[in-house]
């Protein structure tokens, strides 16, 4: 048998270890243990390592939040990151803004079922339709909460913006955050005031470039039909690109894909620099050619990441990976 040891130019002697799962482990210890393993476990470990560095004070952190992260229970994680100064820019969807606001003013999402015993999924959804309940996989939302949200927008948000002319989307989310905070306190709502309120209270801009694709967008359009209220969809571009341009060091935490992911990454296309750090949490595969699953290494070819940027993509359910990565990173920096 020939000895190829001297020919192994790409091989490094770094044997796989074995992760631990023992009573009393902290989340940080579990993430460190993942570093001994391979496949997704090692990706999680690297994500924690990179995100920990992103939380340093001298890194401007852009946070992209797509999908149904708020109605599925990830709301407090994001609002606490904002309050603790770990998000400098938030880019999200109109849906997340909608569901965040519903909880801020007293609505709730509920545990549900995808297919109850004895029914097909279609039969179940037809029953939910008759009962006035909307379903997001295994989460339920009573439709009356949307009526509550509509009144909130008309009375507390849109009416206050009418005299400002064409407002930016960021200005609208700022006003929505203010209204959420004030109504939450005034009505003594048991639930926390949430993401937009935290952003308003801590001067963190929230960009929602595709807000029209949501109940928030529908309500804004309907209100604009009988008032002077209108939105300038391009107005945010100057502000967010200025933040990117002026950042000494920048990092991107991208949860999910779609518009928030691209909006976060494309800000660097008009900046002399690019992201120094990036972490992506997604379930979409890269081999379909879609943006949502595209690797962050691919983004490097576009000039969105520096050539020597630290980055990793984790392919798993973000409702599992986001809490794990954030908790382990916070543990590492002593929070």
Our CA dihedral for 280, 283, 289, 290, rounded to 10 degrees, sits at -80
3-state secondary structure of 322: helix
Rounded Cα–Cα distance for residues 11 and 165 (Å): 62
Choice among 108, 261, 304, 307 that is catalytic: 304
Is 261 one of the catalytic residues? no
CB burial of residue 202 (10 Å; 0-12, 13-18, 19+)? middle
Rounded Cα–Cα distance for residues 335 and 320 (Å): 20
Question: Which of 66, 23, 81, 113 is CA-nearest to residue 204?
Answer: 81
Interior angle at CA 261, CA 260 and CA 267, nearest 5: 90
3-state secondary structure of 107: coil
Q: Are 194 and 97 in contact (CB under 8 A)?
A: no
The helix-helix angle for 236-246 and 169-186 (nearest 10°) equals: 90
Which residues face 168 on adjacent strands? 232
Q: What is the DSSP string of 209-245?
A: TTTTSSHHHHHHHHHHTTSS-EEETTTHHHHHHHHHH
Residues with a known catalytic role: 304
């Amino acid at each position: 048998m020939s000895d190829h040891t001297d020919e192994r130019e790409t091989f490094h002697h770094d044997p796989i270890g074995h992760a631990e799962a023992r009573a009393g482990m902290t989340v940080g210890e579990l993430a460190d243990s993942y570093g001994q393993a391979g496949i997704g476990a090692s990706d999680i470990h690297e994500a924690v390592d990179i995100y920990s560095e992103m939380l340093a004070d001298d890194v401007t952190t852009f946070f992209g939040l797509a999908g149904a992260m708020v109605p599925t229970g990830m709301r407090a994680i994001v609002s606490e990151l904002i309050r603790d100064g770990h998000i400098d820019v938030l880019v999200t969807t109109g849906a997340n803004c909608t569901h965040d606001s519903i909880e801020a003013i007293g609505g709730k999402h509920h545990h549900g079922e995808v297919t109850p015993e004895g029914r097909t999924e279609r039969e179940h959804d037809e029953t939910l339709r008759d009962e006035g309940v909307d379903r997001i996989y295994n989460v339920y939302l009573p439709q009356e909460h949307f009526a509550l949200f509509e009144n909130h927008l008309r009375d507390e948000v849109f009416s206050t913006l009418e005299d400002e002319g064409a407002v930016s989307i960021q200005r609208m989310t700022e006003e929505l955050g203010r209204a959420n905070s004030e109504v939450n306190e005034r009505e003594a709502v048991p639930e926390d005031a949430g993401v937009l309120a935290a952003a308003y209270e801590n001067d963190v801009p929230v960009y929602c470039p595709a807000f029209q694709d949501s109940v928030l967008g529908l309500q804004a359009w309907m209100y604009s039909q009988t008032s002077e209220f209108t939105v300038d969809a391009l107005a945010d571009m100057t502000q967010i690109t200025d933040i990117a341009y002026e950042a000494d060091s920048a990092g991107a935490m991208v949860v999910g894909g779609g518009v928030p992911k691209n909006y976060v990454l494309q800000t660097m296309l008009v900046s002399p620099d690019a992201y120094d750090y990036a972490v992506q949490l997604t379930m979409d595969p890269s081999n379909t050619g879609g943006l949502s699953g595209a690797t962050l290494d691919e983004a490097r070819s576009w000039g969105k990441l520096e050539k020597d940027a630290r980055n990793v993509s984790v392919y798993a359910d973000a409702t599992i990976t986001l809490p794990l990565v954030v908790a382990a990173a916070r543990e590492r920096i002593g929070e």
